[in-house]
Structure formats: C-alpha cells, structure tokens
Amino acid sequence: MPADSPQKHILLTMKTLNILVVSRNRLAGLIDALASVRRLASLADGLIRVEVTIQDNSDNAVPDSILRYFSKFISVQYYKTTTLLPMSVNWNEGLMHVARQKPDYIVVLADRRLVSTNLVDAIKYLDINSEPFICFDHQDVWVNAQGILKREHTYKLQMFSRDGLLAAIGAAQIDWHYPMLFNCVIRSDFMLELMSRYGSFAEGASPDMNFLARVADIGINNFCTYDAPCILTNARHAASSNGSSALKSGTIHDIEHTRLSGTEVYPPYMENFVTANITGSLARYWSPSQMRALIDAPKFFRNSLLELSYPKSAEAFSAMKESLIEFANKFYLDIDAWALLESVQHAPACNQRYPIYSGSDLSNAPALHLISEVEVI
C-alpha cells in the first residue's frame, strides 16, 4: 500500500485512458454514459487523456448528431456491429478496437452506468504500484434524476490475496471488491498478455466474470482494490439489465442474454445462479478434480441462497430452488441446509425493490452533479 495518497501523487507523463462503452438498445443510457465521460474528461487531471470507444450491438445505429456532439469534447470512436452478437463476442470486438489505439489504461463501461472522477485516483494508485489492474466497488451506488442512494466507502486501498479469492469463489461469496471487467482499471499491456494466453480479450457466457476467472487461473498472488465508487449504476436503466433483475418474468432461459450467449455453470445444474457462472467460467481452465477441490459445498449452498432474494418470477424462483435441492442432495448437506432452503419464500415482483423502485421519477436524465457526493474532494 502506498505511503502517499493519490491526490498527492502527480503523474510524470501523459497517460491515456480509453473507456470502452458497450451498448445494446439503450440509446438514452448510452447518452447518459457519454455525458458522464465528458464530465470526467473536463474534471480529470491534465495529465490524463480520456478517450471513448463505443461498441454498439444495438438494432439501430446511434444518430450521427449525437456522435458529433460528444466528439466536440472527447475523442470518440464508434463501431456498429453488422449482426446481433453474443455479449463476449461484442466485448471482445470492442476491446480489439481499443487495443489498436494503444492506450495506457482500459475501462469497460456498460450503457447503464456512469463514471466518476474517482477513476482518476484509481489510475494514480495504479501508476504508483505498477499493478496489472486495480478494481473498485461499484455496487449499491445508484443515481437518478432526483437523488443518489449510496453506502459508506473508505476511499483507501485494500490488498486481497489469491488464496482469499479462491476461497471466495469456492464459497460463492464473491463481492464487488473482486476483479471483473466492469469494475477495474486495467493496464493495456496486461490485456494484451491475457489475449496472448487465452486467445481473446473476453470469452464465455459472462465476459465480466471470465476476467475474474482468468485472474484466478493466471496465478496473480495479490491484487489491489480502491474502495471507492468509480462507476455508478444509472438507476433509471438498472431494471433492464441482463442480470437477475431480468428474471422478473420467466427464467434465465427466456432472456435475450442467455439465448445469445448460453449459460456457463459449475455445478452444471445451477445455471440460474451468478455465482455458478463465476465457477463455470473458471472451469474453462481447470480440471473437474480441481473444481471439486475448490467448492466448499455448505458455504456455496448457503451463500447461493442470497440470490433467491433478488427480484424474479415465480418460475425463476422455483427453478433456482430446485437447483439448490439437487445441489444439497449431491453433496449430502446437513439438515440445517434444508431448513435454510425451506425458510426462503418467493415474493411477488410487485413487492420487490431492486435496485430501487423504477417509477416515473426516474424518467429524466440523471443530474450528473449528484455524482460529486461520492467523489474524493
């Protein structure tokens, strides 16, 4: 951990940050995201050049007038896919475009998220430590047109070990201080190293989780987390995410993401679980015996129960519950596990609030000055 704070550290040479914005049929969200990047560029340290690469997997292209407007303030490269792509293929193509521009640092920004100037401090930490990446906690910070819902952050570095990371994966206890593609600033040369080793920048059903699996597989002993919200969720678009909030009707097999990208899970019958997608991505590189040794069955079961609390349809809830029953049978879990499972009941989607109620008050663009409430001063 560095002795000096990021605010005191001065970058000695000009650094380039290229923000890859991945988009799929959320033009309003893309505009919000670009507006936050414009704000970042205007407030960033003079020695950090901010560039944007848009990888657009939408049905319709972004109007030229919007691209011309943002190009007045930041360098914008726009790439429109010619056909609908699975998420990893789309992200991989976007990262290929970014790599050709040879930036110093890379960030992936979904079109339902916003950036804060804390990203500058994360880069300064990265510059001090010469680490391949630094990750940050972006969860539980939501912005809309009227206010911001947030939690406390330390705005300091924390160190995590590989042993701790593996234990968390095996126990289904991954929180958002662990490295995924959507919560990291990554050195460009490290992305090229991953490309050389694995043959792509991103792969699998969940490219964000695949990055975490690669970090676990490649053998990095320690990594740094900057406990600050560098990327915030734009609440008015959160309800249309590809994740658990999309399960309010039907099951995971009914959503577009699964139809395009499939599922990638270990154990193989837990395809409804985000945590199982993380282990499933690691199973691309590890043998079945390694995966069995990794799983802490009682903890994996108990922590997977948390996912049942996310908003979802009765059908999705039932499918997830059946998966846990099969898991409990397979691993001969004790009676306490069954009691825990039976204690979880489905709540109708109308009574569920994730991430927050998406009512009419979220219909306007987020007031970007609200982001300053979670930024380092």
β-bridge partners, 94: none
According to CATH, where is 3.90.550.10 located in the chain?
A: 15-238+362-374
CATH of domain 15-238+362-374: 3.90.550.10
Q: How confident is the model at residue 314 (pLDDT cuts 50, 70, 90)?
A: confident
Band of pLDDT at residue 7, cut at 50, 70 and 90: low
What pLDDT is stored for residue 189 in this prediction? Answer: 96
pLDDT at 230: 95
Within its chain, how far is the Cα of 294 from the centroid? 23
- Of 50-59, 143-152, 187-196, 349-358, which range is least confident? 349-358
Q: Looking at residue 149, what is its pLDDT?
A: 84
Instruction: Report d(CA 93, CA 234) in Å as an integer.
Output: 25
For the chain, give the mean pLDDT. Answer: 88
> Rounded mean pLDDT of 132-146?
85
Is residue 164 pLDDT above 90, yes or no? yes
More confident residue, 35 or 354: 35
Q: Which amino acid is at 180?
A: M
The count of other CB atoms within 10 Å of the CB of residue 142 is: 19
The residues near 185 (Cβ < 8 Å, ≥ 6 apart) are: 17, 105, 106, 107, 119, 122, 123, 126, 133, 134, 135, 136, 230
DSSP-assigned letter for residue 254 = G
- C-beta atoms surrounding 266 within 10 Å: 21
Whole-model pTM above 0.75?
yes
pLDDT at 2: 46
For residue 180, report the phi and psi dihedrals to the nearest 5 degrees: -130, 165
Asked if 312 and 244 touch (Cβ cutoff 8 Å), the reply is yes
